[in-house]
Amino acid sequence: MAPAATTRTETDSLGSMEIPADAYWGIHTARALENFPISMRPISVYKDLVTALAMVKQASARANLEIGVLDAERADLIDRAAQRVIDGEFHDQFVVGVVQGGAGTSTNMNANEVITNIALELAGRPKGDYAYLSPIDHTNRSQSTNDVYPTAVKVGLSLDLKTLLEELDLLRQSFLAKAVEFHDILKIGRTQLQDAVPMTLGQEFHGFATTLGYDHQRLTENAYLLFEINMGATAIGTGITTHPGYAPAVLRHLREITGLDLATADDLVEATSDTGSFMSFSSTLKRNAIKLSKIANDLRLLSSGPQAGLGEINLPARQAGSSIMPGKVNPVIPEVVNQVAFSVAGADLTVTMAVEGGQLQLNAFEPIIAHSIFQSITWMRRAMRTFRINCVDGITANRERLGAMVGSSVGVVTALTPFIGYAASAALAKTALLTHRNVGDLVVEAGLMTRDEVDKQLSPARLSGLEAITQAIPVVQPAENLVES
pLDDT value of position 483: 45
Q: Interior CA angle at 440 toward 435 and 445, to 5°?
A: 75
Please tell me whether residue 239 adopts helix, strand or coil conformation.
Answer: coil
In a domain, 425, yes or no: yes
Distance CA 367, CA 378 (A): 16
102 and 162 together in one domain: no
Which residues, including other chains, have CB under 8 Å from residue 259's CB and lie 6 or more apart?
Answer: none
Distance CA 159, CA 6 (A): 37
CATH number at residue 209: 1.20.200.10
In a domain, 439, yes or no: yes
CATH number at residue 34: 1.10.275.10
In a domain, 367, yes or no: yes
Which residues, including other chains, have CB under 8 Å from residue 409's CB and lie 6 or more apart?
Answer: 188, 195, 198, 439
One-letter amino acid identity for 34?
E
In a domain, 52, yes or no: yes
pLDDT value of position 474: 52
Distance CA 204, CA 403 (A): 16
198 and 334 together in one domain: yes
Name the residue range of residue 151's domain. Answer: 147-240+248-397
Which residues, including other chains, have CB under 8 Å from residue 299's CB and lie 6 or more apart?
Answer: 313, 315, 331, 334, 391, 395
425 and 355 together in one domain: no
Per-position b or e across 156-190, b if 16+ CB within 10 A of its CB: bbbbbbeebbebbeebbebbbebbeebbebbbbeb
CA atoms within 13 A on the CB side of 409: 23
281 and 364 together in one domain: yes
pLDDT value of position 141: 96
165 and 123 together in one domain: no
Q: Select which of 39, 322, 343, 459 is catalytic.
A: 322
Please tell me whether residue 140 adopts helix, strand or coil conformation.
Answer: coil
pLDDT value of position 326: 74
One-letter amino acid identity for 464?
S
283 and 312 together in one domain: yes
Number of H helices, E strands in the chain: 17, 8
CATH number at residue 436: 1.10.40
In a domain, 182, yes or no: yes
Residues in the chain: 485
For 264-329, the DSSP string reads E-S-HHHHHH--HHHHHHHHHHHHHHHHHHHHHHHHHHHT--SSSS---EE----SB--SSSTT-B
124 and 48 together in one domain: yes
pLDDT value of position 485: 37
Domain boundary among 375, 397, 419: 397
Distance CA 444, CA 365 (A): 71
Distance CA 114, CA 467 (A): 66
In a domain, 484, yes or no: no
Distance CA 343, CA 330 (A): 21
41 and 80 together in one domain: yes
Q: How many domains does the chain have?
A: 3
Tens of pLDDT along the chain (485 residues)?
Answer: 556 679 999 899 999 999 999 999 999 999 999 999 998 999 999 999 999 999 999 999 999 999 999 999 999 999 999 999 999 999 999 999 999 998 999 999 999 999 999 999 999 999 999 999 999 999 999 999 999 999 999 999 999 999 999 999 999 999 999 999 999 898 988 989 888 888 899 999 999 999 999 999 999 998 888 999 999 999 999 999 999 999 999 999 999 999 999 999 999 999 899 999 999 999 999 999 999 999 999 999 999 988 888 899 999 988 877 767 777 888 899 999 999 999 999 999 999 999 999 999 889 999 999 999 999 999 999 999 999 999 999 999 999 998 888 877 777 778 888 888 888 888 888 888 888 788 888 888 888 888 988 888 877 667 767 666 555 545 445 445 444 43
In a domain, 385, yes or no: yes
In a domain, 479, yes or no: no
Give catalytic status of residue 343 as yes or no: no
Distance of CA 256 to the CA centre of its chain: 26
pTM of structure: 0.88
**Cis omega (within 30 of 0) for bond into 306:** yes
Domain boundary among 98, 115, 141: 141
- Whole-angstrom distance between the N-terminal and C-terminal Cα of the chain? 108
For 144, 218, 242, 260, 378, the CA distances from 245, given in Å and listed in that order, are 16, 36, 8, 21, 37
Please tell me whether residue 186 adopts helix, strand or coil conformation.
Answer: strand
Helix (H) or strand (E) holding 230: none
Distance CA 278, CA 270 (A): 14
pLDDT value of position 77: 98
Identify the sign of the CA torsion 367, 370, 374, 375.
positive
As a three-state string, the secondary structure of 386-449 is HHHHHCHHHCEECHHHHHHHHHCCHHHHHHHHHHHCHHHHHHHHHHHHHHCCCHHHHHHHCCCC
136 and 206 together in one domain: no
56 and 22 together in one domain: yes
